[in-house]
Structures are given as C-alpha cells and as structure tokens.
Amino acid sequence: QVMSFCFPTEYTMHVERKECAYCLTINTTICAGYCMTRDINGKLFLPKYALSQDVCTYKDFMYKTVEIPGCPRHVTPYFSYPVAVSCNCGKCNTDYSDC
C-alpha cells in the first residue's frame, strides 16, 4: 500500500475589487499534494478516458462568504470562496476545480 500525500493545506489569498477601498487577505484550505499514478503499457490500444491520471482534488468542501470593506453602494461587496474539508486522489471535476 502506498500512502497518499493529498490533504487539506493552508492557503492565503488576496482579494480586491477596483471599486473598493481595501484588499482583503483570506486564510483558507485547499487540496494539495501528490497522488500515485502509473503509465500503462499498451496505452495505444486503450480509449482516452482510460488514460486519465488521478489528481489531488476536493472530496468535501464548503463555501464561506466575506464582505470586502470600503465598497460603494453600487458594488456588491461579497466574495465567496471554497474551503477544503477533505481531499482525495481522483478524477478532476472541472465544475469546481481548475485542472
């Protein structure tokens, strides 16, 4: 058995909007790490979907919303971001991940 090195990791991001007076620093967690993969012999004979490799991706996540201070009334001051609760090695879902 090979141990997985894919887990929630602390991450700091900076959020700003041109119209607002402040840049906000947000501490969150993202999925990061390495997943076991292998290159299959005979890949010329397999369909493309069988060749995709596993990546470290979100298993469970939730969204948090913060308010960016200093925004004028006509600008929506809210920003939502994902927080990784747990991670796993699997196929990358482009609905909510940048693969």
Determine the pLDDT at residue 1: 40
Smallest CA-to-CA distance from 57 within 2, 96, 23, 3 is with 96
Please identify which residue in the block is written with the tokens 């796993």. Answer: 88
Supply the pTM of this predicted model. Answer: 0.71
CB contact at 8 A, 11 and 33: no
Specify the residue for token string 């369909």: 47
Query: What's the confidence (pLDDT) of residue 52?
Result: 62
pLDDT of 53 reads 73
- Kindly report, residue by residue over 55-64, the tens digit of the pLDDT: 898 899 999 9
71 close to 23: Cβ distance less than 8 angstroms: no
* CATH class of the domain at 7-91: mainly beta
